A and B are shown apart, each in its own frame.
Chain A
Amino acid sequence: MRRRVILVLRLLLGAIFLYAAYTKLRESYLIFAMSIDSYQILPPDAVLGVARTLPWVELAVGIWLLAGWRIAPAATAATLILAVFFGVMVFTYGKGLQIDCGCFGLGEALTWKTLVRDGSLVAAAGALAVLAWGPRNP
């Protein structure tokens, strides 16, 4: 049972990370930069740096999860990344900014529904990390 749950969670999260990377890498990094910039958290140079690197990090984590190699650190990395996204989104939503989420390219508003979805992803990645770090034969 535990192995099946781990398999389902890592395939689901891996596919989501790959899709998130694909939606950003298929267009100019500047489009993603404008999404990041709309959160009004980072200075312009940092915005550009994150826009250039984050999609590649998402791609790497997606491949790592799908490959099934060293699942525990991969799940931990995914949890940390998703938790940061979630924290930033909650903070921004709380400020009342009406912006594009930028989660999967442009065109998706940041709403309570996006928060529920990303919160669920954090929970799923967290559960995968706990299961993967746990004893193999309890």
Chain B
Amino acid sequence: MGAPNAPITIELFSDFQCPGCKFLHETTIKELRQSYVSSGKVRLVYRDIHLPMHRYARIAGTYADAAEKLGLYDTVADRLFATQAQWEQTGDVDKAVSAVVPPPQMLKLRAMAADPSVGRALDEETQQALEQIRIPGTPTLIIHHGTQSERIGQVSMPILSKYLDTLLAGK
């Protein structure tokens, strides 16, 4: 999300069932979207992966990726993280998502999420993140600016914004 020609691109490797990812999403990422993504300074690329110990992260990822195709990614991702404590007990991701998506769109979303190609794409992204990019865990942010790229983990907005402002100022 964000301007394709933004000077900074941030790839966010996140797992919907990971508590650290929930914390990052609800604090730093929320502010990042408001302050930097909406203003065109940063392009945010979500890489939804599913770690083996998180039983329902894959199905949550399929709903989020299907929602992206309907322009509802933020709504669904926000909801999945907000209700993580509930659906991670029951696996009822559908119930959590259907509370924020209007019924006609929910029908489409459900069908898209059930498409095996969506799950396969998530599996490939996960494999690539763990085996090729070798992220240390979730959440991981990779900040790209020109030829420079830095990978970081959990970070608070005051520290991240200082770094982004430095990059934007060309220092």
- Contact of B20 with A by CB under 8 A: yes
A55-87 at interface with B (beta carbon < 8 Å): none
A31-61 at interface with B (beta carbon < 8 Å): 31, 33-35, 37-38, 40, 44, 47-48
Complex partner residue of B159 from A33, A100, A109, A110, CB under 8 angstroms = A33
For B136, list chain A residues within 8 Å (CB): 98-100, 108-110
Q: Roughly how many angstroms separate A33 CA and B153 CA in the complex, as a whole number? A: 12
Complex partner residue of A44 from B20, B151, B152, B159, CB under 8 angstroms = B159
With contacts A98-B20, A99-B136, A99-B137 known, is A47 near B159, CB below 8 A? yes
Q: Would you call A37 and B156 a contact (CB within 8 A)?
A: yes
Q: Is the interface of B mostly helix, strand, loop or mixed?
A: mixed
Given A34-B163, A37-B155, A97-B137, list of 19 further CB < 8 A pairs?
A: A28-B166, A30-B163, A30-B166, A34-B150, A34-B152, A35-B152, A37-B156, A37-B159, A38-B152, A40-B154, A44-B158, A47-B156, A48-B162, A97-B20, A97-B154, A98-B20, A98-B137, A98-B138, A106-B150
Report which B residues bind A (CB closer than 8 A): 20, 136-138, 150-156, 158-160, 162-163, 166
By Cβ-Cβ distance, the 10 closest A-B pairs, closest first, are A98-B137, A109-B136, A99-B153, A44-B158, A38-B153, A30-B163, A34-B152, A37-B159, A38-B154, A34-B155
